[in-house]
């Protein structure tokens, strides 16, 4: 029998991207190979349910898949992720040509469900209500040779009135620090230079085992891993943001001077209606403290426009917080009603035209601030981790792209390299020559170029493949006490 091929299409946040790497790892362990064309034998949709149009997007895409399924009945379609957890049997009713539906708590079941569906010639639906195994104990096929995601926790204990994530991802479950650090070390040993720590509410890490300073300790421990050059994390919740985390960021050299911290609204009245458990002054104080400790830190955020009951005064208060915070960029969303959330049943749902007008004003203000903040960087030296992709071509100028330590995107000219071709995963030093609202340009000759193992792997077409990290301990439970010295979905 010929080897079956697979394709995974991912919607949503970084957590979904990370889950898709796990799905790919399991399929490859089961003997599947990644398709090099659109004609895969198995197509997996890893879905998001945060936005209102997520349902329409999925069912529209599944409709487009039906002719291919009719032409090739042996092809299999699987739907997983948050929307699968939410809709369950509805997916097969609306799209009966789907073969497998699995939820957020049973990623590891996918290969078995596919085989069972082929054998039984009927759809297999398996939705668990809670995790039976932490996802990071599953194999993964990493998408990048030079960066990796590492989950510190899954689930969320918050009750934000607009958010459906806790109902789909469950209560927060924390990994043991040793397991997290073992996974980071395994990635670094494969040439990975940059790791992003993931959690729905990443700085609440430790709540399950009673250590409110656990996340700051974890950042400091990452600083002790030789060869790990950059550490990022997303997304923290302002309620749980403590000074020890700011100190750990400032004092740990490989923790990047970057913070993505969702604001959602600048109106205290709306924050209360959202059940966000902090107020605008608390948020701005965190921003001030971060900038005092790290003057060059880039701070980004999420903002929702048009929450039920939002008045013009409320919206103006959001604009004022944006003016004071001076975000380097912001992910802005128009409020989206999600069935099953308290906000969906709130009175005073705003007309679309009002929300759109406010949204446009917010975008205009943030673009102006982003551009002004980027202009301040012209003439400064910058270290870039070269990213994958073709870069940008403007007239005769060919540029590659990279990320600065503060997370900003920089398009640079790879001239002046004396150590061979610049590759994704390599590190270069150059100087910013021009600013735009959403990126920077460095057309000066690069002043330094370091070839890396990650670049070697990229050149050879190798991607880190891990078999999952486990220390032989139960996935959950109370870990032993730790020595004292030891934020798509954004929340």
- Which residues, given as ranges, of the chain have pLDDT below 70? 1, 50-53, 130-138, 389-397, 418-419, 463-491
The residue length of the chain stands at 491
For the chain, where do the domains classified as CATH 3.40.50.12160 start and end?
5-126
Peptide bond preceding 448: is omega within 30 degrees of 0, i.e. cis?
no
Query: What pLDDT, on the 0 to 100 scale, is given for residue 90?
Result: 87
H helices, E strands: number in the chain: 14, 24
Rounded to whole angstroms, how far apart are CA atoms 424 and 204? Answer: 33
Query: What pLDDT, on the 0 to 100 scale, is given for residue 486?
Result: 27
Mention every residue, 6+ apart, whose C-beta is less than 8 A from residue 364: none
Rounded to 5 degrees, φ, ψ at 353 are: -65, -30
Residue 196 host element (H or E): strand 194-198
Q: How does DSSP assign 411-441, residue by residue?
A: EE--TT--SS---TT-EEEEE--EE-SS-EE
Query: What pLDDT, on the 0 to 100 scale, is given for residue 392?
Result: 57
CATH number of the 5-126 domain: 3.40.50.12160
Query: What pLDDT, on the 0 to 100 scale, is given for residue 472?
Result: 31
Assigned fold of 136-375: pyruvate-formate lyase- activating enzyme (3.80.30)
Q: What is the reported pTM? A: 0.82
Sign of the CA dihedral with 467 first, then 472, 478, and 480 last: negative
Residue 113 has a CB neighbour count (10 Å cut-off) of 21
For the chain, where do the domains classified as CATH 2.40.50 start and end?
381-466
Query: What pLDDT, on the 0 to 100 scale, is given for residue 488?
Result: 42
Query: What pLDDT, on the 0 to 100 scale, is given for residue 269?
Result: 98
Determine what percent of the chain falls in helix, strand and coil, rounding each to the nearest 5. Answer: 35, 20, 45
Rounded to whole angstroms, how far apart are CA atoms 110 and 158? Answer: 29
For the chain, where do the domains classified as CATH 3.80.30.20 start and end?
136-375
Rounded to whole angstroms, how far apart are CA atoms 457 and 52? Answer: 40
Q: Among residues 141, 155, 176, which one has the least CA distance to residue 19?
A: 141
Assigned fold of 381-466: OB fold (Dihydrolipoamide Acetyltransferase, E2P) (2.40.50)
């Amino acid at each position: 029998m010929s080897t079956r091929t697979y394709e995974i299409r991912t919607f949503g946040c970084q957590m979904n991207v990370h889950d898709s790497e796990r799905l790919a790892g399991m399929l490859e362990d089961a003997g599947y190979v990644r398709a090099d064309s659109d004609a895969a034998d198995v197509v997996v949709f890893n879905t998001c349910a945060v936005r209102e149009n997520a349902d329409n997007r999925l069912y529209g895409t599944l409709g487009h898949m039906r002719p291919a399924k009719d032409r090739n009945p042996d092809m299999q379609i699987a739907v997983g992720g948050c929307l699968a957890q939410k809709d369950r049997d509805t997916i097969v009713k609306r799209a009966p040509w789907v073969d497998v539906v699995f939820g957020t708590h049973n990623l590891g079941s996918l290969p078995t469900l596919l085989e069972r569906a082929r054998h039984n010639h009927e759809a297999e639906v398996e939705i668990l209500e809670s995790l039976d195994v932490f996802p990071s104990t599953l194999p993964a096929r990493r998408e990048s040779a030079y960066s990796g995601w590492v989950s510190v926790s899954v689930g969320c204990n918050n009750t934000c009135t607009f958010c459906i994530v806790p109902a789909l991802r469950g209560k927060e479950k924390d990994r043991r620090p040793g397991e997290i650090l073992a996974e980071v070390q395994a990635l670094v040993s494969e040439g990975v230079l940059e790791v992003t720590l993931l959690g729905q509410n990443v700085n609440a890490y430790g709540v399950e085992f009673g250590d409110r300073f656990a996340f700051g300790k974890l950042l400091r421990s990452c600083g002790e891993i030789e060869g790990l050059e950059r550490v990022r994390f997303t997304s923290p919740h302002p309620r749980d943001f403590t000074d020890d985390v700011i100190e750990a960021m400032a004092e740990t050299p490989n923790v990047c001077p970057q913070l993505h911290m969702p604001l959602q609204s600048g109106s205290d009245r709306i924050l209360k209606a959202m059940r966000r458990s902090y107020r605008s002054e608390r948020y701005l104080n965190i921003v001030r403290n971060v900038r005092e400790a790290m003057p060059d830190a880039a701070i980004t955020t999420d903002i929702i426009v048009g929450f039920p009951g939002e008045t013009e005064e409320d919206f103006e208060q959001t604009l004022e917080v944006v003016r004071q915070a001076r975000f380097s960029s912001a992910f802005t969303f128009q409020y989206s009603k999600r069935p099953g959330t308290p906000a969906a049943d709130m009175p005073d749902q705003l007309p679309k035209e009002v929300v759109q007008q406010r949204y446009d004003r917010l975008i205009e203000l943030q673009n102006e601030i982003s551009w002004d903040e980027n202009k301040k960087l012209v003439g400064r030296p910058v270290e870039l981790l070269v990213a994958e992709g073709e870069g940008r071509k403007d007239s005769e100028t060919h540029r590659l792209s990279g990320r600065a330590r503060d997370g900003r995107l920089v398009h640079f000219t790879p001239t002046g390299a004396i150590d061979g071709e610049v590759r994704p995963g390599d590190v270069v030093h150059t100087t910013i020559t021009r600013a735009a609202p959403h990126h920077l340009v460095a057309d000066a000759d690069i002043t330094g170029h370091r070839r890396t193992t990650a670049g070697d792997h990229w050149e050879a077409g190798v991607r880190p493949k891990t078999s999952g990290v486990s220390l032989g301990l139960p996935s959950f439970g109370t870990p032993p006490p730790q020595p004292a010295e030891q934020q798509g979905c954004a929340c």
